[in-house]
Amino acid sequence: MSDSRAWDMRVFLRVAALGSFSAAGREVGMTPSSTAKLVTRLEERLGVRLVERSTRRLRLTAEGELYRERAESLLGDLDAMEAEVAGGARSPTGTIRISVSVPFGRHCLLPLLPDFTRAYPGIRLDLTLTDEVVDLYAARTDVAFRAGRLSDSALLAVRLGDVRRRIVASPDYLERMGTPESAADLERHDCLGFNFRRAAAVWPLKSGGRLVDREVDTRIVANNGETVRHLALLGLGLGRLAEYHIRNDLADGRLVSVLDDVLVDSEEIHAVYTGRERVPHRVRAFLDHMTPRMRACLQ
């Protein structure tokens, strides 16, 4: 990348962030007219309009938003590369954007962060805890932790292990409603579920000697596993949750596992990440540090 193209990107990013040629020009030491001409030359070179100009505030077009995202990614990698070379390969720097489900983040990722931040003081972390599956490229995410079978894609992946799910309820709920002994018993129970797009109100259960995806009546649904866990603790129904998520609750008797011989439910956990040609050193350091520790969390 030539110095002029990198400079054009940096100026454009300040225009996009501030919404003003004059404000961006003051930051980078250019006049408003020079800043506007730079963006115009950039648009002419690309053959598309990047900015909609108005008397109040500049607004990016769809092409401008795409250019902003790619420019931020390219310049971020460029800055990180130069910092790594200047500081030595053992001292990676830069920001890592991470997407993780709420339960896995709370129970397996967050407890590991103090050691990681002490080991890599030059790395900044941008965390998003959500049970929704994010598009790493669209969300400009470096690493995501995902449960279940991976679809074919250009993403790279590290397998962390298998996680078993269990059906659990509070002792108070089971005292009021009884303990289910078979898949058919679920018809008279309140079940807790999820409301995000990929969720389905079916549980894989053995019935009549064969495995079936049994539809359950979900009285309350939520958008993350941590909320479902709290609903179960409050005695509001049966929840189907990952074993690592409820391990302490089971050990302390706050939740009780039921239908263990009926539920057949486990799935793989992967760390997925971008970087087809070159994985940034900061991302490689994060994965190398976290992988063995997360595998221990899932055991």
Query: Is residue 219 a contact partner of residue 192, using CB atoms and an 8 Å limit?
Result: yes
pLDDT tens digits for range 48-106: 999 988 766 788 899 988 998 888 888 877 776 666 565 555 578 888 999 998 888 98
When pLDDT is averaged across residues 100-114 and rounded to a whole number, the result is: 91
Q: Which residue has the higher pLDDT, 152 or 82?
A: 82
How high is the mean pLDDT of the chain? 85
Name the band, by pLDDT with cuts 50, 70 and 90, for residue 1: very low
Higher confidence at residue 299 or residue 235?
Answer: 235
- Decide: 225 and 240 in contact? Cβ < 8 Å: no
Contact 186, 216 (CB under 8 A): yes
For the segment 142-153, the average pLDDT, to the nearest whole number, is 80
In terms of pLDDT, which residue wins out, 60 or 135?
60
3-state helix, strand and coil shares in percent for the chain, rounded to the nearest 5: 45, 25, 30
Nearest-angstrom CA–CA distance, 50 and 67: 8
* Predicted pLDDT of residue 91: 73
Residue-level pLDDT at 154: 67
Beta-carbon contacts of 236 under 8 Å, excluding residues fewer than 6 positions away, are 173, 190, 192, 219, 220
Q: Are 39 and 11 in contact (CB under 8 A)?
A: yes
> Is the model's pLDDT at 232 over the cut of 80?
yes
Residues contacting residue 25 through CB under 8 Å, at least 6 positions apart: 31, 32, 34, 35
Q: What is the pLDDT of residues 116-127, one digit of tens each?
A: 999 999 899 999
Q: Is 191 exposed, middle or buried (0-12, 13-18, 19+ CB in 10 A)?
A: buried
Residue ranges of E strands in 196-283: 202-207, 210-215, 218-222, 239-242, 256-258, 266-273
Which of the pair, 135 or 174, is modelled with greater confidence? 174
| Range with the poorest average pLDDT among 172-176, 201-205, 295-299 | 201-205
Instruction: Give the residue from 273, 284, 7 showing the smallest Cα distance to 140.
Output: 273
Q: What is this structure's pTM?
A: 0.65
* H/E run at residue 118: helix 113-119
Give the pLDDT confidence of 252-268 residue by residue, as tens digits: 999 999 988 888 788 88
Largest CA distance in the chain: 78
